[in-house]
Amino acid sequence: MNRAIRRWSVLTLLMFVALLANITVVQVFWADELNARSDNRRVLLEEFARQRGPILVGDTAVAVSEESTGRFDYQRSYPQGPLYAHATGFYSWVYGRSATERAANDILAGTDETLFARRVIDLVSGRPPEGGSVRLTLQPAAQEAADSGLAGMVGAVVAIDPATGAILAMSARPSYDPNPLADPNAEVQEQAWTAYQTDAAEPMLNRAIAQTYPPGSTFKLVTAAAALESGDYEPDTVIPGPAELPLPGSTTTLPNAFGGECGPSGQTTLLDALRISCNTAFGALGIELGDDALREQAEAFGYNTQPLVEYNAATSVFPDTLDPAQTAQAAIGQFDVRASALQDAMVTAAIANDGVLMRPYLIAEALAPDLAVLQVTEPSEQARSVSVATARDLTEMMVAVVDSGTGRNAAIPGVSVAGKTGTAERGAGQTPVYWFTSFAPAEDPQVAVAVVIENPGERVDVSGGQLAAPIARAVMQAVLLEEGGQG
Amino acid sequence: MTSPAPPAPVRTGSGRWIELVLVLVASAITVGAYANVGLGTSGALPDQLVPYSVGVVVVGVLAHLLVRWRAPFADPVLLPTALALNGIGLAMIHRLDLADAAQADRLGVPVPSPEAPGQLVWSLVGIVLLVLVLWLVRDHRVLAPYTYLTFLLGVVLLLLPLVPGLGVEINGARIWISVLGQSFQPGEAAKVVMVVAFSSYLVVHREALALAGRRILGVDLPRGRDLGPILVVWLLGMAILVFELDLGAAVLFFGIFVVMLFVATERVGWLVVGVLLAVAGGVGSYLLFSHVQERVSAWLDPFGDPDANYQVIQSLYGLAYGGMLGTGLGQGQPDLIPFAESDFITAALGEELGLTGLMVIIVLFGVLVARGLRAAIGVRDPFGTLLAAGLATAIGLQVFVVVGGVTKLIPLTGLTTPFLSLGGSSLIMNWVIVALLLRVSDAGRRPAPAPPPPLAEAQTQAVRLR
C-alpha cells in the first residue's frame, strides 16, 4: 500500500502546488486588473480618502471633490448636473464609476504612474495625496446649444473638430443627475440608481456614442463616396432615379420617400440624387457598386471599428455579405446598417477634413494637482477615408443639400453649410429615426456635427431636415461664434 | 569464536522536545496575530492580550504534555501545525467581529454579537476532544471491527439534516441540524466516521478488489463484480448532492473513498473508474441542476454576472488588494466578502496577510497532510495505514476544494476550511482527525519491542528433532 500512498502524495503535492501557483496569479499577475475594476469597493474606499481631481470643460470644473463631513472626507459634486453627465459619468461608492470618471480614473485618483514621484513626496511629507485633473475637449457653448436643442426629445448630438478629431459637443437626452449617485448616504444613491435604471427612457444611456441606429439617408454620403472613389462617377453623372426600384430576387420595391421620380423621365444626377435624397438612385447605385465596395468605404469612415474605446462607445456596423436586394437597402442606410451619432459625425468630419478621418477623442489633457501638464492628447489620423478630390465633390454635393435640397433648415446666413438629412425607418410600431449631419464653413470647416432624434416628443410627422437640422445649425453657430470670438 | 555484536538499537528521538518548541512557536503565532489585529484596527494592543497569551500557552503546553503521556512517539509536527492554524483562524474571526462592530456603529444599528468567543470555546472543546480520543483510544485498531455499524452510523449522520424538524436549510444547503438552539453540521462527523468505516472495509476486502479485470490502454480495470462498493458510495455522494445540495461534501466523500480504494489495492484502475464516475456524476448534475450550472459559469466568467457572483468577485478583489504582502491584519476590508468568516476565510487571510501569508497557511496544511501520509506509511498494520491515509486525504482534498474554489482555481463548492473557518462542528472534528493521526503515528514510530536475545545467549537448549 505504501507505493500507492507515495504516488498519491505526489498528486497531493501537485494539488497544493496548483493552489500556490493560482494564488500567485490572482494576487500578483491579475491584481492590477482586478484593482482597476470600477466596482471594486476596496480601491474606492482608498480613493474616497483622497481628494479627487476635477474634470474641466474649458476652465470650469464640471466635476469636483469638496471636503465633506459625511462618511468620507471628500464628496464629489457635479455643478451642472445633467448637462455634462454623459461626459463626466458618475462616481459612486456603491455603483462604481463611469465615462470620464472611469476612463481617467488613474489621473483623477492620483494613482497614475505619471503622478508617482508626487505620491512618494506626499508620503514622505505626510501631505494628503491629491489627484490630478482632466480637461475635456468639449466647448461649453456648443454643449449648451446641443443640450437645449434636444430639450423634450430623445436623441443625441455629437460635434467634432474635423481637423483634430476633438469632440466639441457630446450631448444626449434624456440625461441624469450624477450628484445623488455621489451622495454620502448610500440610500440616496440607491434611490437615484433605481429611479434611473427603471426609467423606460434610459437616462443613463449615452445615446451620443453608446447607441446605434439605422443611419438612413445620411448613409448616402458613404454610398456617394464609394461611387466617386470608384472613378466611374462624377457629381454630374446621370443615373437612373425611378419612382420605385424593383429589388432583385423579390417582389417588393424600394420607393422614394416623397413618392415620384427623382428627375424628368426617371433620370437624375448623382448631385441631385443626394440633394433631394433620392432612394431609388442610391439603391440602384448600391447594387451597381456591390456590397464589398460599400463595406470597404464604410470601414474607411470608421464602421466596424470601435471608436472611443475608453468610453465604451458602440461599434457602428456595416453587415457582412449582403444579397443585391439587401445591398440596395444598405446603400440608403437601412437593412442591418447601424451607426451611432458619433459615427455619423465622423463621416462628415472626414469629408470636411479633405478625406482624412481624425481619431475622435474627448480628453484634451491631464494636469497634475499643481496644474502642470502631464499628458496632452495629440490629434492622430485614423484613416484616409476618401481622396481629396472625392472630399471636394462630396462637399459640393452637401452644400447643394443645404442650399436648395432637404437640408435648408441648417442654413446659416453668410456661411456656406454642407449637410445631409436622414429619416430612417425602424421596425414596425417604432417611430422613425431623424438625422442631420453637417459641417461649416464648407470652404474652411471648423465643426462637423451629427444629430439623431429617436423620439421627437410632441412633434409628429416631421423629417430629419425639419427636426434635426435646426439643432445642428445651432451647434455649428455656437462653435463658429466661439472660434470667431477667439480669432 | 566471536559472535557478531547485536545491532545497536536505532535511537530515533521521540521528538517530544521538538514538539514543545513548535507548540511555543504556534502559541507565539496565535498571540502575535491577536495582538496584530488590535494594533491594526485601533492602534493599541488588545486589553485581553495578557490573559489570552497565558491561556494559549497553557492550553498548548497541556495538550503537548498529554501527547507526551499518551502518545509519546507521535509525530511532533502535527499538534503544533493544527494549533497554529486554529490560532490564525481565531484571530481572523475576531478581526471580522471588530469590522462588523465598526460597521454597525457607523450605521447606528445594534452591534451583532461577536463570533470569536464561541469559536474560542469550540477550540477548547476540540482540544479536549483530542485529549479524550488519545486517552480512550489506546490503539487505533479497536476501531476496526465494526465495519457495517460504522458505515451505517456515517450514513445516518449524513442524512440527519434531511430529517424533518431536525434539519435546517441555511444559505441553500441542507447540511445543518438544530439541537437545543445550537446548529451542527453532522457531515463533518460523518467524514471521520466514514474514513474509519472505509478503512475497516478495505482491510478485509482489498485483496479481492485488487484482482484485475480487463486491461484497457495499459490500465488494469477492476472486475465488474467488484464495482458494488464504489457504486454505493457514488450513489451516496449523489444523494448528498441532490437532497442536501452540498456539492462540496459529495465531491469530498467520493474522493476520499476512491483514493482509499487506490491505496488499498494499488490499482490505478480504481482511480480511472473513480474519475469516470465523478465525471458522469458531474456532467449529469450539471445538466440536471441549475445551481451546479451557476457554479460552473461563476467559475468560468465571474464578471459575466457580477450580482450573482458577488461573493467570488469580492474574494478575488480581496486577494488582489492584498497583493504580495497584504494590508496587514486589521487594515484591509475583508468584511466586504460575504461569509468571510466561514467558507471565504482564506480570501480574508489572503487580503490581510498577502500572498506571503496565504502561502504559509497553505504550506501549513500541506505539512499536515504530508505528516498524515507519512504516518500512514510508517504504521505497520494495514488498518492504520488506510485510516491515516484516509484522514490525511480528507484534509488535503477539503483544503484543495475550498481554497481552490475561493481563489477561482476550480468551481466553488461550499466547504469549511479546516481549523480556520468559523463553525464548531468542523473545528472539533478536525481536532479528532489530528488526534487519530497522532495515534497512528505513535504506533508507527514506536520502537519495535526489544528483540529476543540472540540464540547463543539464550537460556535454552537445542532440541533435536527427529
- pLDDT tens figures, A283-321: 999 999 999 999 999 999 999 999 999 999 999 999 998
CA dihedral A183, A185, A187, A192 (to 10 degrees): -10
Write the residue in B313, B366, B382 that is nearest to A1 by C-beta: B382
| Distance (Å, whole) CA B108 – CA B193 | 46
Interface check for A3 against chain B (CB to CB < 8 A): the answer is yes
Cell for B118?
464561541
Residues of A whose CB is below 8 A from B264: 1, 4
pLDDT band at B9 (very low <50, low <70, confident <90, very high): very low
> For B288-309, how does the pLDDT look when each residue is reduced to its tens digit (9 = 90+)?
888 788 888 888 888 888 888 8
Residue window 93-132, chain B: list those with CB within 8 Å of chain A. 106
Q: How far is CA A44 from CA A49, A93, A138, B29, B40, in A?
A: 9, 7, 27, 32, 20
Cβ distance of A42 and B393 shorter than 8 Å: no
Burial of B149 (0-12, 13-18, 19+ CB in 10 A): exposed
Is residue A217 annotated as a catalytic residue, yes or no?
yes
Q: What's the rounded Cα separation, in Å, for the pair B22 and B80?
A: 6
The residues, any chain, with a CB within 8 Å of residue B182's CB and separated by 6 or more, are B424
- Name A76's bridge partners: A65
Closest CA to A40 of B231, B333, B249, B8: B333
Point out the least confidently predicted range of A354-358, A428-432, B83-87, B104-108. B104-108
* pLDDT confidence of residue B356: 94
Measured between CA atoms, the residue of chain A closest to residue B352 is: A27
Note the ipTM here. Answer: 0.89
Residue with the bigger pLDDT between B421 and B206: it is B421
Q: What DSSP string runs through A221-244?
A: HHHHHHHHHHTS--TT-EEE--SE
Report the pLDDT value the prediction gives residue A223, as an integer from 0 to 100.
95
Q: Which cell numbers in the block locate residue B391?
A: 484522514
pLDDT for position A311: 94
Say if A6 is an interface residue toward chain B (CB within 8 Å): yes
Catalytic residue among A217, A277, A316, A385: A217
Which chain B residue's Cα is nearest to A40?
B317
Cβ–Cβ gap B318/A15 under 8 Å: no
Q: Does A388 touch chain B (CB under 8 A)?
A: no
Mean pLDDT of chain A: 89
A9 touches chain B (CB under 8 A): yes
Sequence letter at residue B28: A
* Three cell numbers written together for B286: 450539471
User: In this predicted model, what pLDDT tens digit does every residue of A211-254 receive, in sequence order?
Assistant: 999 999 999 999 999 999 999 999 999 999 898 888 888 888 88
Minimum CA–CA partner of B384 in chain A: A1
Residue A55 pLDDT class (50, 70, 90 cuts):
very high
Residue B181 has a pLDDT of 66
Give, in degrees to the nearest 5, the angle at Cα A92 between A86 and A97. 50
CB contact under 8 A, B321 and A31: yes
Q: Is the pLDDT of residue B388 over 50?
A: yes
Higher pLDDT: A120 or B57? It is B57
* Contact residues on chain A for B409, CB-CB shorter than 8 A: 18-19, 22
Is B319 in contact with A23 (Cβ distance < 8 A)? yes
Q: Which of B70, B66, B86 is nearest to B20 (CA)?
A: B66
**Quick check: B2 pLDDT over 60?**
no
Average pLDDT over every residue of B459-463: 58
Determine the pLDDT at residue A487: 39
Q: Please name the helix (run of DSSP H) or strand (run of DSSP E) that holds residue A56, with its range, or none.
A: strand A55-57
Q: Each residue of B59-75: pLDDT tens digit?
A: 999 999 999 888 889 99
DSSP letter for A374, please: E
| pLDDT over threshold 60, residue B1 | no
Mean predicted confidence (pLDDT) in A332-354: 94
Q: What is the pLDDT of residues A438-464, one digit of tens each?
A: 998 999 999 999 999 998 776 656 676
Task: State whether A1 and B259 contact (CB < 8 Å).
Answer: no
| pLDDT tens sequence across A159-175 | 999 999 999 999 999 99
Q: How far is Cα A269 from Cα A276, in angstroms, rounded to an integer? A: 11
Q: Does the structural domain A216-363+380-486 have CATH classification 3.40.109.10?
A: no
Question: How confident is the prediction for chain B on average, in pLDDT?
Answer: 85
Predicted structure pTM score: 0.66
Residue with cell 490560532: B87
Question: Which H or E run contains B61?
Answer: helix B49-70
**Residue B75 phi, psi dihedral angles, 5° rounding:** -55, 125
In angstroms, the Cα distances linking B444 to A40, B12, B158, B318 are: 51, 12, 31, 43
Q: Which of A6, A11, A12 to mutate to test the interface with B (most CBs of B within 10 A)?
A: A12
pLDDT tens, residue by residue, A112-140? 777 766 666 665 555 566 788 999 999 99
Residue B396 pLDDT exceeds 80: yes
- Give the model's confidence band at B229: pLDDT under 50 very low, under 70 low, under 90 confident, else very high: confident
pLDDT at B458 over 60: no
pLDDT at B305: 81
The residue of A42, A43, A46 whose CB has the most chain B CBs within 10 angstroms, and thus the best one to mutate to test that interface, is A42
